[in-house]
């Protein structure tokens, strides 16, 4: 299965970066739970308390976060597509095994792509939303800003792995 995504600016946002590192390092930082703990949560805001990823369609993605000194908040989703060193797609709309999810957060489908460009990697994180209200809520709640911070932390983490 290869998911083609067309960005609709009224429903989605994408964050693109060039990473001066080989794609294999970008993939490792993106998919290894120990690396996820280092960059996923904006450091000024909190921390990742638990990370788990089963890299297969239907597998779990779990990234529990804690804001400030607050309690852990579980974030569990389902992996939809894995193309090693090219593409990872997951959604919070489903639990592992494609089971319907029930939660009180704004659901997204996340599409992360990467491609080799010279000696580096073009990385794109895309967040797909159900509707304009969800996108607006994610922009005003800090999710978009936090995603930009996390992507910058991701780039710095990959550079530190070199």
Model pLDDT for residues 12-53, shown as the tens digit of each residue: 999 999 999 999 999 999 999 999 999 999 998 999 999 999
| Coil vs helix vs strand at 138 | helix
Residue 124: HSE in the Cβ half-sphere, 13 Å Cα cutoff: 15
What gap in Å lies between CA 147 and CA 139, rounded to an integer?
Answer: 10
Question: Each residue of 102-149: pLDDT tens digit?
Answer: 777 889 999 999 999 999 999 999 999 999 999 999 999 999 999 999
* pLDDT tens readout for residues 54-86: 999 999 999 999 998 889 999 999 999 999 999
Whether 106 and 88 have beta carbons less than 8 Å apart is answered as: no
pTM of the model: 0.93
Between CA 48 and CA 117 the distance in angstroms is: 30
Of the candidates 78, 36, 77, 76, the residue with the CA atom closest to the CA atom of residue 57: 78
CA distances from 18 to 22, 113, 117, 144, 154 (A): 11, 12, 9, 19, 11
Domains of the chain: 12-161 (3.30.530.20)
């Amino acid at each position: 299965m290869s998911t083609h995504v067309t960005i609709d600016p009224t429903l989605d946002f994408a964050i693109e970066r060039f990473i001066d590192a080989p794609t294999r390092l970008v993939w490792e930082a993106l998919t290894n739970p120990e690396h996820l703990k280092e960059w996923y949560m904006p450091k000024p805001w909190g921390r990742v308390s638990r990370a788990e990823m089963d890299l297969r369609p239907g597998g779990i993605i779990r990234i529990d976060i804690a804001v400030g000194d607050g309690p852990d908040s579980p974030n569990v989703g389902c992996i939809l597509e894995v193309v090693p060193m090219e593409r990872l797609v997951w959604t919070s709309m489903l639990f592992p095994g494609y089971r319907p999810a029930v939660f009180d957060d704004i659901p997204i489908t996340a599409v992360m792509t990467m491609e080799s460009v010279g000696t580096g990697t073009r990385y794109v994180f895309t967040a797909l939303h159900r509707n304009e209200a969800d996108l607006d809520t994610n922009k005003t709640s800090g999710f978009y800003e936090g995603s930009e911070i996390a992507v910058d932390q991701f780039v710095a983490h990959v550079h530190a792995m070199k």
